[in-house]
């Protein structure tokens, strides 16, 4: 809503008289909301947005919708953490699918033009984006992007939506064997590299358990964790009859990844947190 003022002037016989100042108010008939289909993201995730425009007045046409795609200032430049997915825009009026409006995207902001909203009706625009390498991934990272709706005779309308980087540990495991090949009744080492790609530590209460069935079965095993010897019955259990090896709950913890933003390009980079578990034993013939 916007207020405006007006004052009249009356002149007679060389005398000027001013009226009082009248105050009016213009009430907008358009409102808009913007909603993300998902509220968290990781790099490469597809994120769809829904823009809803409601009109409580007479018909409006020729509107443009500009999305800043999460624009933020970095150093002396500007970064855009969302990339528009070409050809993804769909447009509805009062629930009826319309021809695709004109979409302009130059790698920065997104502009959609030719939007109309009937009297006492609504328009919905849906499009997809992808979280790119400029999307913050650290703990507390988020993307806030804003749309602005403009048109002749229409006061600019804005709406925004904020989504957050996925919080928590994200673990992967890689197993390797050495030596290869190994002699019969020889000693072999299994190495388990556990990495955390997430922005939070994997802690004891996450109850990480590693289970493996050694085939062929190993005997006389020696277990170490990041170079520190482990004790059977404390940090792990092993059944030489079946080859089943299991770590105890809470024995494994993995630090979070370290996220840094390149000071020149602004791209986010990550170094996973990692731990190593090794099991060495004799192959039972």
The average confidence (pLDDT) of the chain is 93
**Res. 189 pLDDT band, cuts 50 70 90:** very high
| Mean pLDDT (whole number) for 64-73 | 97
Q: Does position 173 have pLDDT exceeding 70, yes or no?
A: yes
pLDDT of residue 284: 83
**Res. 24 pLDDT band, cuts 50 70 90:** low
**Res. 143 pLDDT band, cuts 50 70 90:** very high
Q: Which residue has the higher pLDDT, 75 or 125?
A: 125
Find out whether the peptide bond into 179 is cis, omega within 30 degrees of 0. Answer: yes
pLDDT of residue 28: 58
Task: Give me the domains of the chain, ranges plus CATH numbers.
Answer: 30-165 (2.60.40.740), 171-283 (2.60.40)
Torsion sign (Cα): 263, 268, 271, 273: positive
Could you read off the pLDDT of 103-141 as tens digits, one per residue? 999 999 999 999 999 999 999 999 999 999 999 999 899
Residue with tokens 């939007």: 115
| Mean pLDDT (whole number) for 211-219 | 95
CB–CB of 177/193 below 8 Å? no
Q: Does position 26 have pLDDT exceeding 80, yes or no?
A: no
pLDDT of residue 199: 92
pLDDT of residue 231: 97
pLDDT of residue 2: 58
Q: How far apart are CA 68 and CA 62, in angstroms?
A: 20
CB–CB of 276/225 below 8 Å? yes
Half-sphere exposure of 213 (CA within 13 A, CB side): 2
| Mean pLDDT (whole number) for 218-227 | 97
**Cβ within 8 Å of residue 152, ≥6 positions away:** 62
Q: Does position 25 have pLDDT exceeding 90, yes or no?
A: no
Share of the chain above pLDDT 70, in %: 97
DSSP 97-135: E-PPPEEEESSS-EEEEEEEE-TT-EEEEEEEEEE-TTS
| Mean pLDDT (whole number) for 209-226 | 96
Could you read off the pLDDT of 79-94 as tens digits, one per residue? 999 999 999 999 999 9
**Res. 27 pLDDT band, cuts 50 70 90:** low
Tokens of 279: 């099991």
| Mean pLDDT (whole number) for 187-199 | 96
pLDDT of residue 228: 97
Q: Which residues of 66-82 are buried (b: 16+ CB within 10 A; e: fewer)?
A: bbbbbbeeeeeeebbbb
Q: How far apart are CA 173 and CA 223, in angstroms?
A: 17
Q: Which residues of 41-53 are buried (b: 16+ CB within 10 A; e: fewer)?
A: bebeeebebebbb
pLDDT of residue 29: 80
pLDDT of residue 21: 87
Q: Does position 197 have pLDDT exceeding 70, yes or no?
A: yes
pLDDT of residue 134: 97
């Amino acid at each position: 809503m916007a207020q405006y003022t007006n004052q009249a002037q009356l002149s007679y016989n060389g005398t000027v008289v001013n009226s009082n100042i009248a105050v009016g108010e213009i009430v907008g008939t358009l409102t808009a909301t913007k909603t993300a289909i998902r509220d968290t993201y990781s790099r490469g995730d597809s994120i769809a947005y829904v823009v809803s425009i409601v009109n409580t007045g007479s018909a409006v046409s020729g509107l443009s919708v500009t999305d800043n795609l999460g624009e933020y200032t970095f150093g002396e430049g500007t970064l855009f953490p969302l990339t528009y997915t070409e050809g993804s825009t769909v447009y509805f009026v009062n629930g009826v699918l319309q021809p695709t409006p004109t979409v302009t995207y130059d790698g920065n902001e997104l502009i959609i033009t030719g939007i109309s909203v009937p009297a006492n009706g609504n328009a919905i625009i849906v499009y997809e984006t992808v979280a790119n390498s400029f999307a913050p991934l650290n703990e507390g990272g988020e993307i806030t992007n804003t749309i602005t709706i403009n048109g002749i005779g229409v006061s600019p309308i804005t709406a925004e939506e904020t989504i957050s980087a996925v919080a928590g540990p994200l673990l992967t495991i890689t197993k390797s064997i050495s030596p290869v090949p190994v002699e019969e009744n020889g000693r072999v080492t299994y190495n388990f590299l556990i990495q955390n790609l997430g922005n939070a530590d994997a802690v004891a209460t996450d109850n990480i358990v590693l289970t493996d069935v050694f085939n062929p079965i190993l005997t006389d095993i020696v277990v170490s964790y990041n170079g520190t010897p482990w004790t059977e019955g404390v940090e792990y259990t092993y059944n030489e009859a079946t080859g089943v090896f299991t770590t105890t709950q809470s024995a494994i913890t993995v630090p979070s990844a370290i996220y840094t933003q390149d000071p020149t390009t602004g791209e986010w980079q990550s170094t996973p947190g990692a731990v190593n578990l090794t099991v060495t034993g004799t192959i039972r013939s």
